[in-house]
Each structure stands twice: as structure tokens, then as C-alpha cells.
Structure 1
Amino acid sequence: MERILHDLRLSETVTPFGVGAVVDVLGESLIASDTSWWDIRSAPEISCQRLLAILDPGVLRQAPAHSGRAAKETAHLFYWRFPAWRFCERCTKLSQITGKSKGRWVNRCDCGGALVPMRYVAVCDKGSHIQDIPWFKWAHRGMDAGVTDAVRFCKAYKELKFVRSSQRGEGLSSLSVECNGCRRSRPLSALVGIESLHRDGVRCEGRQPWQDPSSDQICDHRLIAVQRGATSNYIAESLSALDIPEETLPSVARTEAIRSHELFWRMVADNGGPKSEMFAEMIAEEVGIPVEEVLRAASDEEDESGGAALLDLKDGEWAAFLKKLENGRDHGVGDFVVDGWAVASHSTWPQALTSRLGGVGQVRRVREVRALRGFRRYDAGAAFINADLGPKRKKKSVFPAIELFGEGIFLRFDEERLTEWERASEVRARADILMQRRRASQWAERLPVPEPRFVALHTIAHLLIRRLAFASGYASASLQERVYAHSDRPDRTAGILIYTAAGDAQGTLGGLVRLGEPDKLLPLLLAALSDADVCSNDPVCIESDRQGASSLNLSACHGCALVSETSCETANRLLDRQLVLGGANVPGLLDDVLDQARRIGG
């Protein structure tokens, strides 16, 4: 086995060079094996109960790390050479054999030329498998008249060449695989059709390149030839969670208070009888909530499904942020330190802005844990491949993870004003454009529901990231977003967190959290809105309702609202400036803020 030494940042072992990814390293094309190949003794365990509750049963482990130069004994990760087929850039010979020089494996041909990985590989369209294209078999197949008996039964296995010829035109037609034994030549243009490999009798091996061929499983799905660097070859599925003290949501706390009341079970036993409403009124008066909520809690108790909506990781984070904002100055010393302050107390701010912001939190310290669940290939609806493909008997799955520490700014928006805005028919109609496109796309269903509040707050987060990149000292790619925007549950959420977190080279120095101070945040918010007021692509951009991948952006482009895709939860999708600043027929959430600020300043 050839040993290639190459250092990666810890964050890269989760994404983009995580389990199953094809990566280029030092002129080689490699693929990362699953965590069953890891040396667990050198992979420290990471603790995050909130994340494990989703991944359970499983264990979070960080990839082996070292300081200084890598040596022979240094803990490392396995990356397998893939594709195995390569061609010599000097003699153009195709082979799967690595050369040897003085007893050491080298990526050189016998003629001394460097070996270059083949450009195309085969991906299973539904099983998420990937494999080499059997170039010898493929070169001697086809439906054309050139497939004679001499070609069909050729055994010149070491006589293949990868040939470029400008006389055959441009593109794939100018590239071909030729056999010196039978003189068969086949252009790569015959490779890329949807049914090409299937017609040639090339079948899926049903495994990943690093898996033992003896454990093959039959896969009847179709193989498709794709470029080995295509982004669809690796669709990673990762989860991240903030390490926070788990707080009870207000609606959950009220429900617990109702069900713990001594009269609750008597009300449930009456089952809608004449005493139910009387008991409900007594409980409501003592607990201090509406009667309707008491009756709803009783109805949920009788419901076999439990009546409770499925909450995600962000709900616990939202509850924790609300508690921090209520407590003001945070004197804690843990991994979640947030100073909260009320926006309404700053009368010098434009009232159009303060009336829409319910509070601001300066996140002085936060710990984030990111984990890779697994991946898919070629299609978002393909089979899911776990990050740990080892035997599941007597062990828990190991998920690659990394812990990061950082800082940030949290903005809570006023629920009453937000609800009033999103009731407007024009607002709902604008957001419904994205709703319909999301439903029409299979892969887009994995994105959050683009209800008006989500699109508006998501866009504001992007605008703020772009402005913070100028003032915070961090590159825009180092800033992350978390959008809390749900209206389909008892505890509605409406807020955004802009934060930076790093676990290796780039630490956090306080440049972001200091911008959350009242006298600094106002100019930043206004500058962010002013930047988006006019786009360099206007009027085309502001009048558009069809931009971005699968047209999942409306009035948003690289000139005004897009950020680095690593900073965005939805890869720069579900954005619209009109829902923030307004349009010809759409009222924006903050459409009058700039006008009022200009009147105050002018």
C-alpha cells in the first residue's frame, strides 16, 4: 500500500473530505473510507448529548490529530486510490498498476511518465454506489459494426491507451480508448449516455471502493458514467448542534403544568361530559392560561399519536436563547455565555426597527458540534450510506465529528409584528412561489419550508453576514448562520444567529461579539439594509422571481444577497430582497426602516 502524507484541517474530515468523498491530493485521486477503518484508540470521543439523541445509537469521534510534521507512527486516516484506472501522460498507456522504484510504490509509469487518474467513473443512480469503469471491457463493447470477433475475444489486457486527437473534432469525440491488440478504438462520447453502460453490460458491484469484494450485495440499479469531480457524486448529510443547557419550551412547560394539576385526569375521564368544561375553567384560572389550551392538552392526551409536534434541535436552542435574553448580563463561565439586552430601551434607534426587534444577544462563548451522518450519490433520493459501514453487532456506529468554539450575535424579532406582516395576501403569494418550486423538486424537499418569515429572516442573515465581513475581522466564509423561523408549532420562533466557530487554525478573537453592542449594531443593520437597497444587477434582480439553483431564489443574486455556500444552511437558496425591503406590490418586513433612518439622520 502506498503511503501518501497530507495534512487536513479537522473540519475537513467532516466536510468536504468526509467519508465517501472523492478528493484530489498531491496529484492523486483518493476516496475516504468509512469510520470502521479508523483507529478508535487515536480518535478522541466528543460529547454532545443533544446531537447523540438524534444519532443514537452512536458515538461521536474526532479524526486523529497531530501537531508538527507527520511521521510514520502518526495517527492517520485511510484514503483509498480511486479511480484505480490511470493513464500515463507520456506514453498514454492505461493501467491499474502502480510502479515501483527502489522498493517503494510510486505514481509513475514504467516509462517514467506520471500517472493521471481517469476523468470518468461509474455511479449507481439509486444505490449510492461508485466504482471504476472497466475500461478494457467497455472499449471492446458497443453496437457498431467495428465489434468483430477479433475485438470481442481480444485478450490484450495491457495494450490499452488513452488517446487525444484534434482530427476527430472537439469535446469527448476527440478523446478515445484504443487497444493496440485488436486496433479497436472507441470515443468517450459513447460513454456518457444514460443507458450507455447498461447497454454495454456493465453492472453495479453494489459496494464502495474500499469494501471487500467478497461482501458484495446484488444491485440491480443502473450505472451512469459521470466525471469523478462532479458535485453530485457526494451529497453529504451532516448535523450540527449548539452545546447549550437544554431548556423547556414555554408551551411544553404550560402543558406539564396542566397535566400535573389534580383536576386534569378527572377532566379527561369525563371525556367531554358536562364537568369537563368546569374542570377546564378551574385549571385555567389556577395556572393562568386560556381555557382552550387546557382543553387542547386533554385532547392531545387522548390522541394515540401523543399530539405533540416533532421538534428539532433548534427548538431547544431557541428556548435557551430566550432565557438568556431575559436574564440580561450573563456572568456564567460555561460553553454558552450570552449577554441579552432589550432593543426598546434605545430610543435613538428608528422606531420602525425597534418595533420589529424583540431583543439582541451578544453570544460571548458558544460550543458547536458538527457530525457527519453519511452520504448519498448522484441523486438526493438515492439510498443513504451510513458513515460507519462496519458490522453492527455489539457496537455502536461511529460518526465523524468536530467541536468548535466561537462567538456571535443573536437577533430576536417581535412575534406580533412578524405575524401581522406575514398575514398580508401579497406576502403569502410571494412566498408561495418558492413553496411550489420546493414541492416540485425532489431534492428541494430537504430544504426548510419557505414560509414568509423564514425567507425574510434568512435574507436578513445574509445581508448582515456580508456587512459583518467588512467590520468584524473575519472572512465572510468564516461566518455561519442559524435561522430560527417556524410558525407551525405552539412556540413560534423568529430569530437569527450569526456566529463564527473554529476548532483548529482560525480561532475567535471577540471581533464579532463586540459588534453586538447597541452603539455598533444599529449602524451595521442599517448599512446592511442600505447595501441591499440597490443591487448592481438592478432592475433585473429586484424584478426577478426566478434565480439560483432550480429557481429557488427570487430577488437575490451574487451582487446583493448571496454569501459563501459554507456559511448558509440552505446553500444560497430561499432568498428574496422584496420580502425584506418591499417591492412594487409586496410589503417588506423592514420596508420603512431606511426611510425613517434617513429622515432622522437628514
Structure 2
Amino acid sequence: MERILHDLRLSEAITPFGVGAVVDVRGESLIAPDTSWWDRRAAREIHCERLVLRLGGGVLKQPPAHAGRAGRETAHLVYWRFPTWRFCERCTTLSRGSGRNKGRWTNQCECGGMLVPMRYVAVCERGSHIQDVPWFRWAHRGTDSGVTEEVRFCRAYKELKFLRSAQRGEGLASLRIHCNGCRRSRPLSDLVLTDSLQRDGIRCGGTQPWEETDTAVRCDHPLRAVQRGATSNYIADRISALDIPEERPPSAEQADRIRSHVYFEKVVADNGGPQAEMVSGWIAAELGVTADEVLSLAAGGDPADDKPLLDLKDGEWAAFLKKLEGGRDRSDGDFVVDGWRTPEESEWPSALTDRLPAIGQVRRVREVRALRRFQRHSADADFVTVDLGPDRKRKPVYPAVEMFGEGIFLRFDESRLVEWENQPDVRARAGILMARRESAPWAAGLDVPEPRFVALHTIAHLLIRRLAFASGYASASLQERVYANTDRPDRTAGILIYTAAGDAQGTLGGLVRLGEPDKLIPLLMAALNDADVCSNDPVCIESDRQGSSSLNLSACHGCALISETSCETANRLLDRQLVLGGGTVTGLLDQVLDQARRSPAAHPKES
């Protein structure tokens, strides 16, 4: 094993260069093996109980890192060379895993030319396995008349050539694998045909490139030849959590009060009978809840949620609410938030201040990001865990990094949100995205595009675009975290915009200083003013089919889209009409700009 000296940022070891990813480094193609190959002593453990709990147990480990210049004994990450088939740029000879020179790996052919990794690899359509295309076998297969007995039993393993022929036009038809032994020649255009590998008798090996073949499991799913750099070859499932004191949501505290009531056991014992209905009414009247809530809890109506991200957000939402009520935060630690109440009587439009009762200046926050699993080819494929070690009794190790930063938190008024989102035109508009999300199997992992989520998500994007001018951070450095769900025991309605860096110094205050109401509200007004007219209007505002799988409505690069790495849903589920209104749709902040324009004192201020 020979080291390639190449530095990565810690966050890149999670994604895009995380476990299972195929990457190009200094002219070579590599793949990252699972965490069982890591030097466990060099990988520092990261503590975040909230995240570990949602992952179902395990250990969070930071990839081995160094500060300064790398040396022979420096902690490092292991990468495997993949694909192993390469061709020479000079003599075009095709070879597999060759290039040994006195015990050292070399990337040169015997003729002195450089060896280049083959462009295509084979990916399992459903099993998320990946392997080399067996080029010698493939070159001597096919359904045409050229597959003679001499071709079928050819043994000229070192006579393969990778040829380019301008006489055959452009594209894959001009690229051929040629055998000098039997004179068989086959174009790469045959490789990418549907089920081409299946017809040639090439089957999935059931492993990842770094796994031993004796660990393979039977896989009957077909293989497909794809370019090794295709984005579908690696679909990472990353999860992040804010390291905050785990606060119990109000619904959990209410459930505890109901369970601890002296008469609750009688409701459980009667199991839905007439006595249970009567006693549940007594409990409900005493505790200020409904009888249905008592009966549901007695019947075990506290369903577990299988979405760890939403579970994480429930705790974060409860923690933010507690911080907002406390005013100035003089505590220490990694979660410091100053709470502000929006002035009830101010020069700003009431249509905005009534819907935005509280703002939080997040002076310090710690975020832990972890890679949970990955899949290949499509969102329907099986997931592969990041720890494939043989010792199943050992706790799985998840790659993780910790980030320190600052941010701004906006809480929206629940009662006004409910009043708005119950309007038929609003629900019909959001229903368009609901139907498209359900019809796209890969989109099942996205948030449910209910009206409040689409509106708050779009507001977060608009504000990020404006903050990029005022905070000193590029928009790609800002992240969003949207709290907007109605199907939770505690409804959420807020957004967090933050930036984080991978060292203990965190960030420099350019974002958090804008969290005071007299600075943030003008910025939000300016963001709405920017979004009122898009450079692509009227096409954009009248559109209801934009983005991948048409999962955006009135939103494009001219108005609402930001860097995909900053967005939780990769620039999907956005709509300006649900924010500012349009046509027959009433926007959440529909009257804000009209009120501002009628009042000179409340005109949006540029920052």
C-alpha cells in the first residue's frame, strides 16, 4: 500500500469524498472504504448523544487528520484504487492492476506512457454494489456474427487495446476495445445499451471493491455500465444535529402529567369502556387537555417516528423556544441564544411583525454532521452502511465532524400560520407539490411540502440571498434548518440560518450581529422586495413546473435558488407565490410590501 499525499478538508471526508465515493486524485481514480479500515486510534471520537440516539447506537468518529505538513507517520485515510482496469495514453494497451515496479506502485506503462483509469464501471441497479467492467470478457462477447469459436476461446489477455477511430464518427461508437490476438473489436456504444451486461452473462459480484470476495452475498440484480464520475454512483445519506441541551417538547411534558394523574390507571384498566370515558373527562378538565388526548395516551397512542431528523428537530425546537423566552443569554457552552420580542408597535408593517413574534441571535452553536449510509444508481436502491466490518458485535463507527458557528433564528406565529394554511387556494397550491413528491419514488426522503414548509423554506432562501450581501459570508457558507411540520405532537414554525466552521474559533460575528430586530426586519423586507420581481418574470411567477421532477413552482435561479449545499432539500419545494401571493393564491406575507409602500417610514432599507 502506497500513500498518495493529498489533503482533504475534514468536511469533505463526510461528503463528497466519504465512504463509498469514487474520487479522482492526481490523475488516479480512488474509492473510500468503510470505517472498519480506519486507524481507530487516530480517529478522534466526537460526542453528541442526541445524534447517536437517533442513529440507533454506535460511535461517532472524526476522520484521521493532521495540522500542518503530512509525513510518513501522519494519520491518514485509506483509499483503494478503483477501477483497476487502465489504459496507456501512448500505446493504448489495456491492463488490469499492472504497474508494479520493484515493490512500488507506479502509474506508468512499460512503454513509458501514463496509465489512465477506464471511464466506465459497472453498478448494481438495486443492490448498490459497484465493480470493474471485465473488459477482456466483455470484448469477446456479443450477439453479432463476429463472435466465432476463435474469439470465444481467445486467451490473449495482454493484447487488449483501447482505440479511438475518427472514421466511425463521434461519441461512443468511435471508441473500441480491440484484441490483437483474435482481431475482435467491439465499440463502447454496445456497453451502454439496456441490459447489455446481463445479455453478455456478466453478473453482480455482491461486494464493494474493498471487500473480500468470500464475504459476497448472492445478488441477482442486473448491472449497468455507467461513467465512473456519474453523480448517481454515490448518493450519501447525511444527518446532522445541533448540540443543544435536550429539552422535552410541551407534548411530552403534557403526556407525563396525564400519566402521573392518580386516575390514569383506571382509564387504562377499563380499556375504552364507559368508565374510561367518564374518568378521562375528569382528568381532561383538571389538566386543561381534551378527553381524546387522555384516551389516546391510555390506548398507547404515542407512536414512534421512524424519521430521526424530525425527532432531532423536535428537541431543537423546544430548546429554541426556551431560549427565546429567556431574553439575554449569559450562559456558557456551545448553545448561546439571545431572545428578542418583535416590537408590537413599530414603523414596520404589522403584516410582518404580527407573523414574526420572536427572533433569536444564536451567538454560538455546535453542529455535528455524520454520514449514516449511502446508495448507488437510484433512490430505490438498497442502502449500504458505512461500517462493513466483520465484527458485528462491535458498535458501528459513523464518520462525523463537528462545526462551530453562529446564526439567526426566526419564530413565526402559529395561530396566524394555521389561519393562512387552511385557506383552500393555499392548500391547492401546496397540493401540486404534494402530488409530485408522491409520484417520484426518490423524493420520499424530502420533507412533506405542506403550505407552511414551502412558505418558510422559501423565506429562508430569500433571506440567505440578502444576508450574503450584508453579513460578509458568501451564500454557500450559510446553511438553513427549517422547522415547519404540522404532523408532529408539537407543531413547529421557524427557520434557522447559520454558518459554521470546522474549528473551535467558530465564526467572526458577521451574521449574528444582524439578528437584532432593527437590523433583521429591514433585511427581511429587502429580501421580500428582491423577490417581488424576478428577472425571469412573468415566466417564473406564472410557472408551476420548475426544478428536478418539477418540484419547484414559482422559483428559479433569478429569485429563490441558492447553493444546493446550503439547502436541506437541494433547491426543491420552493414557491414565491405562497410567500408573496400571486394569481388567486394568498401569500403568507401577502400584504407586507403593500403596507411598506404605503408608509414611507417603513420602506425597505438597503444594507
The residue correspondences of 1:388-467 to structure 2 (distance < 5 A) are 388-467=387-466
The answer (yes or no) to whether the contact 1:309–1:489 under 8 Å persists in 2 is no
Kept in 2, the 8 Å contact 1:344–1:354? The answer is yes
Output the CA distance in 2 between the equivalents of 1:506 and 1:262. 51
Q: Does 1:374 align with 2:387?
A: no
Report the equivalent of 2:55. Answer: 55
Q: Which residue of 2 aligns with 1:550?
A: 549
What runs of 5+ residues in structure 1 fail to find an aligned partner? Answer: none
Query: 290, 296, 301: which one pairs with 2:298?
Result: 301
Distance in 2 separating the partners of 1:226 and 1:272: 58
- Partner residue in 1 for 2:117: 117
Question: Contact 1:123 / 1:129 at 8 angstroms: preserved in 2?
Answer: yes
> Cα deviation per residue 1:130-150 (whole Å; 9 max; x = unaligned)?
000000110111001111111
Match of residue 211 from structure 2? 211
Match for residue 65 of structure 2?
65
3-state DSSP of counterpart to 2:347: coil
Q: What amino acid does structure 2 have at the position aligned with 1:353? A: L
1:215-226 to structure 2, matched below 5 A, reads 215-226=215-226
1:30 match: 30
Q: Distance in 1 between matches of 2:167 and 2:56?
A: 59
Look up the match of 1:508. 507
Kindly indicate whether the alpha-carbon contact (under 8 Å) linking 1:98 and 1:108 is maintained by their aligned counterparts in 2: no
Per-residue CA shift, 1:508-551, capped at 9, x if unaligned? 11111001112210121011111111111111111111111111
- 2:520 match: 521
Please list the CA deviations of residues 483-516 of structure 1 after superposition, one character each: whole Å capped at 9, or x if unmatched: 0011113311010000011215994111110011
Aligned residue runs from structure 1 range 192-591, under 5 A: 192-271=192-271, 276=276, 279-287=279-287, 289-290=288-289, 292=290, 294-303=291-300, 306-307=302-303, 312-345=311-344, 347-504=346-503, 507-591=506-590
Deviation at 1:212, TM superposition (A): 0.9
Structure 1 residues 467, 329: CA separation in 2 closer, same or farther (over 3 Å shift)? same
Could you tell me how far apart the structure 2 residues matched to 1:22 and 1:220 are? 23
CA contact (8 A) 1:300 1:307 kept: no
- Deviation track 1:194-239 (CA, whole Å, cap 9, x = no partner) reads 2100001111111000111222222111000001111110011111
Q: CA 1:2 to 1:276, structure 2 compared with 1: closer, same or farther past 3 Å?
A: closer
SS of equivalent to 1:41: coil
Q: Which amino acid aligns with 2:417?
A: L
Q: Which amino acid aligns with 2:52?
A: L
Which residue number in structure 1 is paired with residue 596 of structure 2?
Answer: 597
Q: Residues 364-419 of structure 1, C-alpha deviation per residue, up to 9 Å, x if partnerless?
A: 01111111111111011111110000024331100000111111000011111111
Query: Which moved further from structure 2: 101-110 or 238-247?
Result: 101-110
What letter matches 1:530 in structure 2?
Answer: N
CA distance in 1, matches of 2:531, 2:505: 29
Q: Are 1:344 and 1:355, in contact at CA under 8 Å, matched by a contact in 2?
A: no
Q: Is the 8 A contact 2:280 2:295 kept in 1?
A: no
What SS does the aligned partner of 1:569 have? coil
Amino acid at match of 1:478: S
Q: Distance in 1 between matches of 2:263 and 2:486?
A: 31
Contact 2:375–2:382 (8 Å) recurs in 1: yes
Q: Report the Cα distance in structure 2 between the residues aligned to 1:95 and 1:262, rounded to whole angstroms.
A: 78
Cα distance 1:105–1:278, how it changes in 2: closer, same or farther (>3 A)? closer
Could you tell me whether the CA contact under 8 Å between 1:205 and 1:219 is conserved in 2? yes
User: Alpha carbons of 1:180 and 1:340: their partners in 2 closer, same or farther (altered >3 Å)?
Assistant: same
2:13 aligned residue = 13
Work out whether residues 283 and 294 of structure 2, in 8 Å CA contact, stay in contact via their aligned partners in 1. Answer: no
Q: TM-score, normalised by structure 1?
A: 0.96
**Partners of 1:506 and 1:188 in 2: how far apart?**
52
Q: 1:86 touches 1:96 (CA, 8 Å); kept in 2? A: yes
The residue identity in structure 1 corresponding to 2:518 is: D
Shift of 1:101: 5.3
Q: Which residues in structure 2 correspond to 1:43-192 (within 5 Å)?
A: 43-100=43-100, 104-192=104-192
Question: What amino acid does structure 2 have at the position aligned with 1:552?
Answer: L
Is residue 264–residue 298 contact of structure 2 (8 Å, CA) maintained in 1? no
Gaps of 5+ in 2: none
**1:328 partner amino acid:** G
The 8 Å contact of residues 277 and 295 in structure 2, kept in 1 or not, is answered as no
Q: Provide closer, same or farther for how the CA distance between residues 380 and 517 of structure 1 changes in structure 2, counting only shifts above 3 A.
A: same
Check the 8 A contact 2:280/2:294 in 1, yes or no.
Answer: no
Matched residue of 1:315: which SS?
helix
Cα distance in 1, alignment partners of residues 94 and 229 from structure 2:
20
Letter in 1 for 2:143: M
- Superposed CA RMSD in Å reads 1.7
Paired residue total: 598
Paired letter, 1:540: V
Distance 1:44 1:257 in 2: 41
1:57 Cα deviation (Å)?
2.7
Q: Relative to 1, partners in 2 of residues 1:489 and 1:217: Cα closer, same or farther, differing over 3 Å?
A: closer
Q: Secondary structure at the match of 1:107?
A: coil
* Equivalent position amino acid for 1:150 in 2: E
Partners of 1:26 and 1:68 lie apart in 2 by: 20
Q: Distance in 2 between the 1:81 and 1:22 partners? A: 9
* Cα distance change on mapping 1:7 and 1:308 into 2, 3 Å: closer
- The whole-number CA distance in structure 1 between the counterparts of 2:407 and 2:357 is 17
Is the CA contact 2:403–2:506 (under 8 Å) kept in the aligned structure 1? no
Q: Is the 8 A contact 2:267 2:298 kept in 1?
A: no
Please state whether the residue corresponding to 1:211 is helix, strand or coil.
coil
Counterparts of 2:220 and 2:338 in 1: how far apart (Å)?
Answer: 57
CA distances 1:273-294 after superposition (whole Å, capped 9, x unpaired): 665555445434443x14x2x4
